[in-house]
């Protein structure tokens, strides 16, 4: 129960708003409900939301979806896979994730400071695209001397490291796919 509660999103960022519902919904117009596709700010959960009557949402708009009184969202239909995203939502996804990673840089730099082994042969850092054992050991040695303070600090102290912000964004996009077994940033 506590595990389930910890993955609940408090707010989400709108990826796409369909004022007349889905185009493939063949019910009569009066039965269709407006739909918003959004991504959670903390756990990157992709959700389908129904706005309150008369509310028109914009892409990139942040909406409250927590337990308290919601001003714009009537209810959450539930989680949806990336395959159900509209083409607009798919095209906005990477930009929204980049924005969240940029605004919460400390949280993602802390991942590099606290990452642990998954098994005797595999480390969390190695799950990041473009990072192997050599980078992993450089990151661990450097963080033991002094924790990293920013993506720039990480890049300057670890030789030939790919852009850590881009690496994190790529990993989040990978984790949104159902085939990804290990989750570092996405709760589903």
Domain 104-175, CATH? 1.10.150.280
The CATH fold of domain 2-84: OB fold (Dihydrolipoamide Acetyltransferase, E2P) (2.40.50)
Q: Where are the alpha helices (DSSP H) in 9-127?
A: 87-103, 105-114
SS3 of the chain: helix, strand, coil, percent, to 5: 40, 15, 45
pLDDT tens digits, 119-168: 999 999 999 999 999 999 999 999 999 999 999 999 999 989 999 999 99
| Two domains, one topology: 2-84 and 104-175 | no
25, 34 contact by CB (below 8 A): no
Look at 148 and 32; give whichever has higher pLDDT.
148
- 47-60 pLDDT tens trace: 999 999 999 999 99
Candidates 74, 42, 44; CA nearest to 57 is 74
Spatial distance between the Cα atoms of 170 and 167, rounded to a whole number of angstroms? 5
Q: How far is CA 38 from CA 18, 51, 75, 116, in A?
A: 12, 11, 13, 30
Round to whole Å and give the CA distance between 146 and 126. Answer: 21
Q: How many CB atoms lie within 10 A of CB 79?
A: 13
Distance CA 44, CA 47 (A): 9
> Confidence band (pLDDT; 50, 70, 90) for 2?
very low
132 contacts: CB under 8 Å, gap ≥ 6: 126
Does an H or E element contain 155, and which? helix 151-157
Q: What is the Cα 159 distance to its own chain's centre?
A: 28
Asked which of 1-5, 79-83, 177-181 is least confident by mean pLDDT, the reply is 1-5
pLDDT digits (tens, 9 = 90+) for 174-183: 999 988 888 9
Whether 168 contacts 111, CB under 8 Å: yes
The predicted pLDDT at position 180 comes to: 86
Where exactly are the structural domains of the chain?
A: 2-84, 104-175
């Amino acid at each position: 129960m506590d595990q389930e509660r910890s993955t609940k999103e408090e707010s989400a960022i709108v990826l796409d708003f369909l004022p007349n519902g889905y185009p493939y919904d063949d019910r009569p117009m009066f039965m269709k409900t407006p739909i918003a596709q959004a991504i959670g700010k903390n756990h990157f959960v992709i959700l389908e939301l129904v706005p309150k009557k008369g509310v028109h949402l914009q892409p990139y708009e942040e909406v409250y979806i927590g337990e308290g009184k919601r001003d714009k969202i009537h209810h959450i239909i539930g989680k949806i896979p990336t395959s159900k995203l509209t083409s607009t939502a798919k095209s906005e996804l990477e930009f929204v994730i980049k924005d969240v990673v940029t605004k919460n840089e400390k949280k993602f730099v802390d991942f590099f400071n606290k990452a642990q082994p998954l098994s005797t042969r595999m480390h969390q850092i190695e799950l990041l695209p473009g990072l192997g054992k050599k980078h992993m050991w450089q990151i661990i040695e450097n963080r033991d001397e002094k924790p990293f303070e920013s993506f720039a600090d990480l890049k300057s102290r670890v030789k030939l490291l790919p852009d850590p912000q881009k690496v994190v964004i790529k990993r989040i996009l990978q984790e949104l796919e159902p085939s990804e077994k290990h989750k570092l940033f996405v709760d589903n």
